[in-house]
Amino acid sequence: MAGYVSRGFRGRRRAGDGEAGRLPPGQYAEPGFPVLTAGPTPRVDLAEWRLRVDGLVATPREWTWEEVQALPRSTFEGDIHCVTRWSKLGTSFAGVSVDVLLDQAEPLPQATHVVASCHGGYTTNLPLEDVRGGKAWVVWEHEGQPLPPEHGGPARLLVPHLYFWKSAKWLMALRLLDHDRPGFWEGLGYHNRGDPWREERYWGD
Amino acid sequence: MGRLSWRLARVAEVRPETSRVASLALEVPGWVGHLAGQHVDLRLTAEDGYQAERSYSIASAPDGQRVELTVERLDDGEVSPYLAGEIREGDQFELRGPIGGYFVWKPGLGGPLLLVAGGSGVVPLMAMLRHRAASGSQAPTRLLYSSRTLEDVIFRDELERLAAAGDGLTVTHTLTRAQPPGWRGYDRRVDAVMLEEVGWRPDERPLAYVCGPTRLVEAVAGDLVALGHDPARVRTERFGPTGVQ
Amino acid sequence: MDEADLRLDGNHVAGLLAEVFQFDMTVEWSGCAACGARNQLGALQVYAHGMGAVMCCPGCGQTLLRVARGGGRWWLDLRGMAWLQLDEGARLPD
């Protein structure tokens, strides 16, 4: 979508020299952390907060806030990429690895996909492999601070190797299925998988 | 084949309004005129292809040819420091519009009018006031305008002149952060008591237009309805969290 | 920042909707499929960002319209809207 280049307009972003190789195609480095929301921010009482893993698992599990905090802590340090073209380089999140949650729930052999569902109704879908093997977390801290509500607190899914709409905010449950089920954006034009390195933004990319 | 196309606007004049606010007079080829309260979308492209789009309310009265925008510079903004800082006469950018017939006042709609502005939310309301004056409308109108300090009041002198014209307009300021010595006006955020004191009674059936930061707009709209005003006669234009377009 | 700060009006997506409908959609009327309320699209509550926009009923909060845009395409979900009225008078000029 070419446009008229306006003299003197640069935008806010700064791309350092070392960043070029870290940016997927079509992305720019954003020092801030833009808030993108498709609805009101859910307010979740920690006393009533639960995280569920169910569906095609041997043992459906549900954790309270205290229980999930007691699980082995895991930290992600790296880059995140939003389909709206900003990438935040060198950030960090902390929480629990999805592998730990799945180990406890024991996925059945026929489980191939997972759907994340969230307070407020947001959903996103992923192949099961995309949340296993150290690639996904449920996080409640960002850069050392509790995850703010506008960024998905109390806890969100984190799947940094895919576009950030897959890192569902206000996570409630992960349901394992033997089929795929497009989520909120995947059902409205956005790519089913969303690999930033292959620039999978929209249907048909 | 109606189509809202991108056109190339040229900056004819840059005029500072306050230390953070500037007005841009634009030449837009093929401009068909606008209604008071409408806005335009701007699209800025950088040399490396990066693009940003923003919407700005038109500040000028509909007079067929002129398009004026009034932009407040947000410190960590991306577009506003360019429009209310870097931009010079002769610069060009893409623009489409006018659009947004919902938040519009025309003399035929009459009054009485209640206009409530927070910060740069005064811009579309100023288009309405300029149009009202130019059209000779005597619709009784009250503007309630919230600013941080007196220095932040946009169009201050012009508002004084319009209010002195004796055609049924009153302008009430509230300065929420700091007031000059001897200030006897309001010094707090707009609330229901202020709206009741400054505004119209529900049985006077005013048309209300509220514009500015989302928080102010929602609080004022809620207060007006709670005071008994008809929700269908309260129109809002939220500017979002910063209150800057 | 509170999420309430991010809420906008239908006006905010006037340009985006004009790309699709070629009408000034902010003045057009819609019916909420959940509560039946009639509102001009300019009166709907909007959450919008680079991926797309969601327009909600100011009365009951039901999503009336979702729109996404990218790669030269637009996608619309109007399931929450019982009906939409378009008015010749709001057609955009040539």
Q: What is the pLDDT of residue C3?
A: 59
Q: What is the pLDDT of residue A185?
A: 97
Q: What is the pLDDT of residue C94?
A: 72
Q: Do B157 and B135 fall within a single domain?
A: yes
Q: What is the pLDDT of residue B2?
A: 55
Flag whether B29 is in a domain: yes
Asked whether A102 and A55 are in contact (CB, 8 A), the reply is: no
> Prior bond to B112 cis, omega within 30?
yes
What is the reported pTM?
0.93
Overall number of domains in chain B: 2
Instruction: Check whether A20 has a pLDDT greater than 80.
Output: no
Domain residues for the domain of A171 are 44-198
State how far the Cα of C9 lies from the Cα of B15, in Å rounded to an integer: 29
Q: Which chains touch B (3 or more CB pairs under 8 A)?
A: A, C
Q: What is the pLDDT of residue C6?
A: 85
Flag whether A126 is in a domain: yes
State how far the Cα of A154 lies from the Cα of A47, in Å rounded to an integer: 11
Q: Which residue of A has its CA nearest to C73?
A: A189
Least confident span in A147-151, B23-27, B188-192, B238-242: B238-242
Chain B CB within 8 Å of residue C10 CB: yes
Chain C CB within 8 Å of residue B189 CB: no
The last residue of one of the domains, among B51, B71, B99, is B99
Flag whether B245 is in a domain: no
Instruction: Check whether B49 has a pLDDT greater than 70.
Output: yes
**Which residues on chain C are in Cβ contact (under 8 Å) with A149?**
3
Chain C CB within 8 Å of residue B214 CB: yes
Q: Distance (Å) from the C-alpha of residue C44 to the closest C-alpha of chain B?
A: 10
State how far the Cα of A97 lies from the Cα of A105, in Å rounded to an integer: 13
Instruction: Check whether A17 has a pLDDT greater than 70.
Output: no
User: Do B51 and A1 lie within an 8 Å CB cutoff?
Assistant: yes
Q: How confident is the model at residue C22 (pLDDT cuts 50, 70, 90)?
A: confident
Helix (H) / strand (E) containing A87: strand A86-97
Asked whether B229 and B203 are in contact (CB, 8 A), the reply is: no
Flag whether A52 is in a domain: yes
Flag whether A118 is in a domain: yes
Q: How confident is the model at residue A11 (pLDDT cuts 50, 70, 90)?
A: confident
Q: Do B118 and B153 fall within a single domain?
A: yes
- Average pLDDT taken over every residue of chain B: 95
pLDDT digits (tens, 9 = 90+) for A34-71: 999 888 889 999 999 999 999 999 999 999 999 999 99
Q: Do B165 and B68 fall within a single domain?
A: no
**Which residues on chain A are in Cβ contact (under 8 Å) with B77?**
12
Chain A CB within 8 Å of residue B27 CB: no
Share of chain C above pLDDT 70, in %: 96
Q: Do B40 and B141 fall within a single domain?
A: no
- Within 25-64 of C, beta carbons closer than 8 Å to B belong to 26-27, 40-43
**What CATH number has the domain bearing residue B176?**
3.40.50.80
Q: Which chains touch A (3 or more CB pairs under 8 A)?
A: B, C
Q: Do B30 and B54 fall within a single domain?
A: yes
CA angle B2, B7, B10 (to 5 degrees): 150
Q: Which chains touch C (3 or more CB pairs under 8 A)?
A: A, B
**What CATH number has the domain bearing residue A140?**
3.90.420.10
From C44, C11, C71, A4, select the one nearest B42 (Cα to Cα). A4
DSSP string, B54-101: EEEEB-S---SS-EEEEEEPPTT-SSHHIIIII--TT-EEEEEEEE--
Asked whether A25 and A75 are in contact (CB, 8 A), the reply is: no
Instruction: Check whether B1 has a pLDDT greater than 50.
Output: no
Q: Do B165 and B228 fall within a single domain?
A: yes
pLDDT digits (tens, 9 = 90+) for A82-121: 999 999 999 999 999 999 999 999 999 999 999 999 999 9
Flag whether B152 is in a domain: yes
Flag whether B52 is in a domain: yes
Q: Do B113 and B94 fall within a single domain?
A: no
Flag whether A75 is in a domain: yes
State how far the Cα of B243 lies from the Cα of B218, in Å rounded to an integer: 12
Domain residues for the domain of B187 are 107-238
Q: Which residue of A has its CA nearest to B6?
A: A3
Least confident span in B67-81, B115-129, B215-229: B67-81
Candidate from C4, C11, C24 with C-beta closest to B218: C4
User: Do A6 and B44 lie within an 8 Å CB cutoff?
Assistant: yes
Q: Do B63 and B124 fall within a single domain?
A: no
Q: Distance (Å) from the C-alpha of residue B45 to the closest C-alpha of chain A?
A: 5
Flag whether B114 is in a domain: yes
Flag whether B216 is in a domain: yes
User: Do B46 and A28 lie within an 8 Å CB cutoff?
Assistant: no
Q: How confident is the model at residue A18 (pLDDT cuts 50, 70, 90)?
A: low
State how far the Cα of B179 lies from the Cα of B185, in Å rounded to an integer: 9
Q: Do B229 and B112 fall within a single domain?
A: yes
| A192 CB neighbour count, 10 Å cutoff | 16
State how far the Cα of B43 lies from the Cα of B26, in Å rounded to an integer: 14
Task: Mutate one of B11, B24, B51 to test the A interface: name it (highest A CB count within 10 A).
Answer: B51
Average pLDDT over residues A5-14: 82
State how far the Cα of C58 lies from the Cα of B203, in Å rounded to an integer: 24
Flag whether B124 is in a domain: yes
Overall number of domains in chain A: 1
**What CATH number has the domain bearing residue B92?**
2.40.30.10
Instruction: Check whether A16 has a pLDDT greater than 60.
Output: no
User: Do C27 and B237 lie within an 8 Å CB cutoff?
Assistant: no
Q: Do B19 and B114 fall within a single domain?
A: no
